[in-house]
Amino acid sequence: MLVDGYGRKVDYLRVSVTERCNFRCQYCMPEKPFSWVPKENLLTYEELFKFVKVAIDDGITKVRITGGEPLLREGLETFIKMIADYKEDIDLALTTNAYLLPKAAQKLADAGLKRINVSVDSLKDDVAAKIAQKDVLKTVLKGIQAASDAGLKVKVNCVPMKGVNDNELIDILEYCKERNYPVRYIEYMENKHASDIAEGLNSSEIQDIIKQKYNFKQCEREGSSPSQDYKLDDGYIFGIIEPHKDDFCATCNRIRLTASGVLIPCLYFEDAQSIKEAIQENDIDKAAAILKDVLANKPEKNKWSEEDGDTETSSRAFYETGG
């Protein structure tokens, strides 16, 4: 079992397989970075898998593949199959913008993927295009349908932003409710890579909008899910991810690995250690020791919390860390 320095059990690994992306979401990566990590500096799937095995053997029970846009990395289904074959009961999921799902969904399901989280920030062509800086909506919706047809369980992520998509939160909820996809609104996490104009809604502002049409009750918090769930009168459950709440980090159970082999204990802070050398030298004990050390030094909580007044801005890039 993996436990961090604050006694939190860590059983969830997020693996970013690329920082590259085919979208330029305002809240994440409005400009292409000056330089991408050269492809030769990335860990191969075999190398990433070596670390995933270390992590699973030490107690990781859930692995999520993310990015950048993970479907941009060729052969993702081979990586998925490696993990699915290694541990049949692993909770294996993928977070994607869905743009490449129309072609990829069936291959991913055949490789052993069970679940996907997709980003839907708007159901209007022009607004979706403004957020992603590309005409994406029709293809994204086709991708979601393809995933559902392939038997993948779908969850939807939405980042509400003032003056951009805050008038669509009910439409997005209803799109999801009709299809029985849980939706989770994610409070915008301030970071210096985002567009200067990005301004998020906090949880109570999001709830106030949903309340205009629906009654709902707050659910008991379950396990270490980052989502605070709410139940509508008809039983449909939506969630809000509230990193600005002071107690958000109390049940954090996750650790993140980037495509270049950097192990990151917290989405907010820059602190990290590389497992690249250990993995490339096949020194599994060293990789396991680095994992333990990173966990021992996992920060207690992020600095987005509004407890002390102003929210601070992280310098970590979501597209690199994988959200």
| Among ligand SF4, ligand SAM, none, residue 188 binds (CB under 5-8 Å by kind) | ligand SAM
What tokens appear for 66 in the block? 């993310």
Q: Examine residue 207 and tell whether it contacts ligand SF4 (CB under 6 A).
A: no
Told to check if 18 binds ligand SF4 by CB under 6 A, we report no
Beta bridge pairs of residue 200: 161
3-state secondary structure 171-217: HHHHHHHHHCCCEEEECCCCECCCCCCCCECCHHHHHHHHHCCCCEE
CB 191, min distance to ligand SAM, A? 5
Q: Pick what 24 binds: ligand SAM, ligand SF4, none; C-beta below 5 to 8 Å, kind-dependent.
A: ligand SF4
Binding mask 164-193 vs ligand SAM (x if CB under 6 A, - otherwise)? ----------------------x-xx-x--
Q: Is 122 in the site for ligand SAM (CB under 6 A)?
A: no
Site string for ligand SF4, 74-113 (x = CB under 6 A): -----------------------x----------------
Residue 28 interacts with ligand SAM (CB under 6 A): yes or no: yes
In degrees, to the nearest 5, what angle opens at C-alpha 282 toward C-alphas 277 and 286?
65
Among 18, 97, 228, 302, binds ligand SAM (CB under 6 A): 97
Q: Does 194 bind ligand SF4 (CB under 6 A)?
A: no
Q: What DSSP assignment string belongs to 25-73?
A: -TTT-SS--SSPPPGGGSPPHHHHHHHHHHHHHTT--EEEEESS-GGGS
Residue nearer to ligand SF4 on the CB measure, 51 or 318? 318
Binding to ligand SAM (CB under 6 A) within 209-238 occurs at none
- Taking CB under 6 A as the criterion, the residue among 10, 15, 67, 108 binding ligand SF4 is 67
**8 Å CB contact between 182 and 156:** yes
Q: String of b and e for 85-121 (b: at least 16 CB within 10 Å)?
A: ebbeebebbbbbbbbbbbebbbbbbebbbeebbbbbb
Question: What angle, 0 to 180 degrees and rounded to 10, lies between the N-to-C axes of helices 45-57 and 284-296?
Answer: 60
Q: Whole-angstrom Cα distance, residue 101 to residue 106?
A: 9
CB of 277 to ligand SF4, least distance (A): 27
Torsion of CA 273, 274, 277, 281, to 10 degrees: 80
- Interior/surface letters 249-277, b for 16+ CB within 10 angstroms, e for the rest: beebbbbbbbbbbbbbbbbbbeebbebbe
Minimum CB distance to ligand SF4, residue 196 (Å): 16
Question: Where in 108-127 is the site for ligand SF4 (CB under 6 A)?
Answer: 119
Alpha-carbon dihedral 42, 118, 221, 186, rounded to 10 degrees: 90
Helices 101-111 and 76-86: angle between axes, nearest 10 degrees? 20
Among 2, 15, 23, 254, binds ligand SF4 (CB under 6 A): 23
Q: How far is the CB of 293 from ligand SF4 (least distance, A)?
A: 28
Binding mask 53-82 for ligand SAM (x = CB under 6 A): -------------xx-x-------------
Q: Which residues of this chain interact with ligand SAM, rule CB under 6 A?
A: 21, 27-28, 66-67, 69, 95-97, 119, 157, 159, 186, 188-189, 191, 194, 318-319, 322-323
Q: Which residues of this chain interact with ligand SF4, rule CB under 6 A?
A: 21, 23-25, 28-29, 67-69, 97, 119, 318-319
